[in-house]
């Protein structure tokens, strides 16, 4: 509780009552843009951490490795009645700009004409049919993905839960001038003065949109969250039953780190509880230990389980926000113009909320529940015969791969999806027997 308490004190002194010279300008800018109070409170906390000069890093000396975790393989119980109190939420705000896209990444075709969204919708409808329970489903979209996403899902009648709606939208945050920590200004394109606040925005977006209160008012207690580009992250009855019976407020699905994962964040112990350390929070001198998968063995898959009542209680305790660790990313205000004003984008990770809940847990899951698409190389692998579609519309590695996905590396000339398609006009090549030499 010590780490959480000290964070709470910071919210009170820096995030709420202690202001900084440029805060009034940020406050006015956020209100003029129509940001809700929860979004403003979250940004104020993040900005307060930055402006205070607080150390945003997590050195190796401040944490301890996690030696072992409970394993999915030990789970046996399945209680389908819990589905009636559970909402399945997919984060769907990404445009896939790094892959040259100008629309939701989830609209990319994977197998035949089926997109990520098609597979997700079919998974939900199939589960409702098999268990005869109207499993609730929602999306957290961004302004950029909302319209195309809703249009693509309109063909799935009954997918939306009437009392909830199908979506709520994530927030945005002002970019911060790196030189003096004032609001970034770019009159030629004011939209570039704003950035996504990272997927840790899930929590203020739930609260500020009214979705959290709506879920609680309709009797929902549990929420399963995952990314829309991870088709392995399906609603799993064993995990849901384990989470409900554990009575813990928050749980993270982790996978075993391999060399392919060594640059990504990892689970650790901080104070008396669990925490998540991202690469941007690791000092340069600790990079070797950060990447040592024998020391830090587990990584966050971004598949999370949340007790909604505990979430509301915890956010109330922290003044309407969650005090998540702040990640500072240096950019230029116009990403395409490296000579434009240098800015800082303040982001948070939704998995980092694990340190805000006393008694939070993590569980080791099989790699089949983690198959995200971040690059065209990932996309090519999923499109190939190394993956198959199950009867319940999951995308899984074929058994002959023995849990090891093909390691695909593409030339930089094919980093964009359109360029990849020119490389494989007849579709993905066979990768079922691909091995690393």
Write the DSSP assignment of 17-56 as a string of letters.
Answer: I---TTHHHHHHHHHHTT--HHHHHHHHHHHHHHHTT---
Strand order in the sheet with 167-169: 70-71, 361-364, 250-256, 298-307, 222-227, 86-92, 136-141, 167-169
Long-range contacts of 328-331 (CB under 8 A, 24+ apart): 328/50, 328/56, 328/280, 329/280, 330/178, 331/175, 331/195
More confident position, 319 or 62: 62
Phi, psi dihedrals of residue 114, rounded to the nearest 5°: -80, 130
**pLDDT tens-digit series, residues 330-382:** 999 998 899 999 999 999 999 999 999 999 999 999 988 988 888 999 999 99
Integer Cα distance of 203 and 272 in angstroms: 23
Q: 80-138 pLDDT, tens per residue?
A: 999 999 999 999 998 787 888 878 899 999 988 999 999 999 999 999 999 999 999 99
pLDDT at 436 over 80: no
> Is residue 31 scored above 80 in pLDDT?
yes
Q: How far apart are the first and last CA of the chain?
A: 48
Average pLDDT over residues 50-58: 93
Q: Partners of 89 in the beta sheet?
A: 138, 225
Q: Which residue has the tokens 């309709």?
A: 218
pLDDT tier at 407, thresholds 50, 70, 90: confident
CA–CA distance, 240 with 263 (Å, rounded to integer): 30
Q: Is the pLDDT of residue 32 over 90?
A: yes
Whole-number Cα distances in Å, 191 to 255, 263, 333, 338: 37, 31, 10, 17
Distance CA 57, CA 64 (A): 15
Whether the CA torsion 389, 391, 397, 401 is positive or negative: it is negative
pLDDT of residue 437: 62
- For domain 375-432, say whether CATH 3.40.50.1360 is its number: no
Q: What is the mean pLDDT of residues 188-196?
A: 95
> What percent of the chain has pLDDT above 90?
78
Per residue in 136-170, pLDDT tens?
999 999 988 999 999 999 999 999 999 999 999 99
* Percent of the chain with pLDDT strictly greater than 70: 95
**Which CATH architecture fits 2-372?**
Alpha-Beta Complex (3.90)
What is the predicted pLDDT for the residue at 17?
A: 42
| pLDDT band at residue 6 under the 50/70/90 scheme | very low
Residue 11 clears pLDDT 80, i.e. is over it: no
Please tell me the predicted confidence (pLDDT) of residue 7.
Answer: 38
Q: Where are the domains of the chain?
A: 2-372, 375-432
């Amino acid at each position: 509780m010590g780490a959480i308490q000290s964070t709470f004190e910071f919210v009170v002194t820096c995030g709420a009552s202690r202001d900084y010279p440029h805060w009034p300008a940020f406050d006015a800018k956020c209100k003029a843009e129509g940001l809700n109070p929860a979004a403003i409170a979250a940004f104020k906390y993040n900005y307060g951490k930055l402006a205070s000069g607080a150390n945003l890093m997590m050195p190796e000396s401040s944490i301890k490795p996690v030696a072992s975790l409970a394993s999915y393989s030990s789970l046996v119980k399945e209680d389908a009645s819990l589905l009636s109190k559970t909402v399945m939420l997919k984060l769907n705000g990404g445009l896939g700009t790094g892959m040259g896209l100008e629309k939701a990444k989830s609209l990319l075709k994977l197998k035949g004409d089926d997109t990520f969204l098609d597979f997700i919708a079919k998974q939900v409808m199939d589960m409702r049919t098999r268990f005869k329970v109207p499993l609730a489903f929602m999306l957290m979209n961004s302004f950029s993905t909302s319209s195309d996403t809703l249009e693509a899902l309109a063909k799935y009648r009954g997918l939306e839960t009437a009392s909830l709606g199908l979506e709520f939208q994530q927030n945005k945050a002002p970019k911060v001038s790196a030189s003096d920590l004032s609001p970034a200004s770019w009159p030629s394109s004011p939209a570039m003065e704003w950035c996504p606040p990272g997927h840790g925005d899930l929590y203020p977006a739930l609260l500020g949109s009214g979705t959290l209160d709506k879920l609680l008012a309709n009797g929902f207690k549990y929420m399963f969250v995952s990314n829309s580009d991870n088709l392995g992250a399906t609603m799993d009855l064993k995990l849901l039953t384990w989470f409900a019976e554990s009575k813990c407020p928050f749980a993270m699905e982790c996978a075993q780190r391999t060399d392919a994962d060594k640059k990504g964040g990892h689970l650790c112990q901080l104070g008396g509880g669990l925490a998540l350390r991202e690469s941007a929070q690791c000092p340069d001198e600790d990079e070797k230990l950060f990447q040592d998968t024998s020391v830090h063995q587990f990584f966050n898959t971004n598949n999370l389980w949340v007790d909604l009542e505990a979430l509301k209680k915890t956010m109330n305790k922290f003044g309407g926000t969650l005090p998540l660790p702040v990640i500072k990313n240096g950019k230029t205000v116009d990403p395409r113009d490296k000579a434009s004003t240098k800015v800082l984008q303040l982001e948070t990770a939704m998995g980092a909320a694990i340190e805000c809940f006393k008694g939070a847990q993590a569980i080791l899951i099989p790699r089949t529940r983690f198959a995200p698409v971040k690059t065209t190389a990932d996309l090519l692998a999923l499109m190939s015969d190394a993956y198959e579609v199950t009867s319940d519309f999951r995308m899984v590695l074929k058994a002959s791969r023995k849990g090891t996905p093909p390691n695909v590396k593409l030339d930089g000339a094919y980093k964009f999806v359109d360029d990849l398609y020119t490389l494989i006009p007849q579709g993905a090549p066979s990768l079922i027997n691909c091995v690393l030499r």
